[in-house]
């Protein structure tokens, strides 16, 4: 049933309050127009990047809040925000799927208008990198102030709020690595192997970044546990 639109009461430009609050006029003017395209798939390429930047902005804001909660000794609240941040990373990984619809020859045309632009310059990713570095330092400080090591957490109870924060950090780290895996896969599907990116970075450098860890001590704790376990007893006899 059609409803009569109510008048806009919020300040700002836009025909409706939805447009004024969401700033849709500005938002939808941020993509190159059809008369500027060298190829219609510029819209696909730009929207996936812009959508990723927005979710990265949201993700970074959750990480900053999580850091504040850690400083206030509120691990439960910190954990919830880290889980939300990990979901943000998961969602931008999903968006990369759309790029599988980019024809390599069409992208070769789009590349001609990208200048020296490179993913390394992504403001969202830069912020995620610095926020995760800060979190790593802050969490290590919390542990050492209590005389704990990451290994202690993994030998303790799963209900320990600090263990839960550690696991939320690991989930986030994994989501970052999964984004990188998907990005590498999509990038090479489009531009191939052994070529240089727009910044003269070999595309295969991206493969090496996949194994990079933002919270290395939490991964080392796992390695230590595995190395300390009596081999051959952990899972019983191997089943065929
Ligand atoms: C057609 C799709 C894409 C291709 C072919 C591609 C290609 C590349 C290449 C070759 C690099 C290496 C650096 C360079 O030379 O520029 C790179 C890095 C990067 N790209 Fe993309 N990319 C694509 C889509 C995206 C999207 C949608 C994002 C989302 C923001 C993104 C974010 C990044 C980031 C953050 C890096 C730095 C590497 C890292 O930290 O793991 N790229 N990309």
Cα–Cα distance, 78 to 84 (Å, whole number) = 10
- pLDDT, one tens digit per residue, over 84-141 is 999 999 999 999 999 999 999 999 999 999 999 999 999 999 999 999 999 999 999 9
- pLDDT, one tens digit per residue, over 168-193 is 999 999 999 999 999 999 999 999 99
Residue 63 has a CB neighbour count (10 Å cut-off) of 22
Across the chain, what does the average pLDDT equal? Answer: 94
Does residue 99 fall inside a structural domain? Answer: yes
Does residue 33 fall inside a structural domain? Answer: yes
What helix, strand, coil percent values describe the chain, rounded to 5? 70, 0, 30
CATH of the domain at 102: 1.20.58.480
Does residue 236 fall inside a structural domain? Answer: no
Task: Clarify whether residues 91 and 203 are in a common domain.
Answer: yes
Residue 232 in tokens: 């051959």
Residue nearest to atom 28 of ligand 1 (CA): 49
Indicate which atom in ligand 1 lies nearest the CA of residue 92. Answer: 29
Q: Is 229 in the pocket of ligand 1 (CB under 6 A)?
A: no
Residue nearest to atom 3 of ligand 1 (CA): 187
The DSSP 8-state label assigned to residue 182 in this structure reads: H
Does residue 234 fall inside a structural domain? Answer: no
Is-contact 115 200, C-beta < 8 A?
Answer: no
Task: Clarify whether residues 32 and 114 are in a common domain.
Answer: no
The boundaries of the domain holding residue 73 are 39-228
Place of tokens 């003017």: 29
Domain count, the chain: 2
Task: Clarify whether residues 27 and 110 are in a common domain.
Answer: no
Q: What is the pLDDT of residue 240?
A: 40
* Ligand 1 pocket test target in 116, 123, 179, 183 with most atoms within 8 Å of CB: 183
pTM of the model: 0.93
Task: Clarify whether residues 82 and 138 are in a common domain.
Answer: yes
Position 1 confidence tier, pLDDT thresholds 50, 70, 90: low
Q: What is the pLDDT of residue 20?
A: 98
């Amino acid at each position: 049933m059609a409803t009569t639109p109510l008048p806009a009461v919020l300040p700002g430009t836009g025909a409706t309050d939805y447009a004024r609050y969401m700033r849709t006029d500005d938002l939808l003017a941020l993509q190159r127009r059809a008369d500027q395209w060298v190829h219609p798939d510029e819209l696909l390429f730009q929207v996936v990047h812009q959508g990723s930047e927005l979710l990265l902005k949201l993700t970074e804001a959750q990480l900053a809040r999580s850091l504040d909660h850690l400083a206030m000794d509120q691990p439960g609240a910190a954990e919830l925000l880290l889980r939300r941040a990990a979901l943000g990373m998961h969602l931008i990984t999903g968006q990369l799927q759309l790029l599988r619809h980019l024809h390599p020859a069409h992208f070769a045309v789009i590349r001609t208008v990208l200048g020296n632009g490179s993913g390394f310059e992504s403001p969202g990713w830069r912020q995620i990198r610095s926020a995760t570095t800060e979190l790593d330092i802050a969490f290590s400080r919390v542990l050492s102030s209590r005389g704990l090591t990451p290994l202690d957490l993994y030998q303790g109870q799963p209900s320990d709020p600090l263990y839960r924060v550690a696991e939320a950090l690991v989930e986030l780290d994994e989501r970052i690595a999964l984004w990188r895996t998907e990005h590498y896969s999509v990038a090479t599907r489009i531009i191939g192997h052994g070529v240089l990116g727009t910044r003269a970075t070999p595309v295969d450098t991206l493969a090496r970044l996949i194994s990079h860890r933002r919270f290395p001590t939490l991964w080392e704790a796992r390695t230590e546990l595995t190395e300390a376990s009596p081999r051959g007893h952990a899972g019983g006899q191997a089943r065929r």
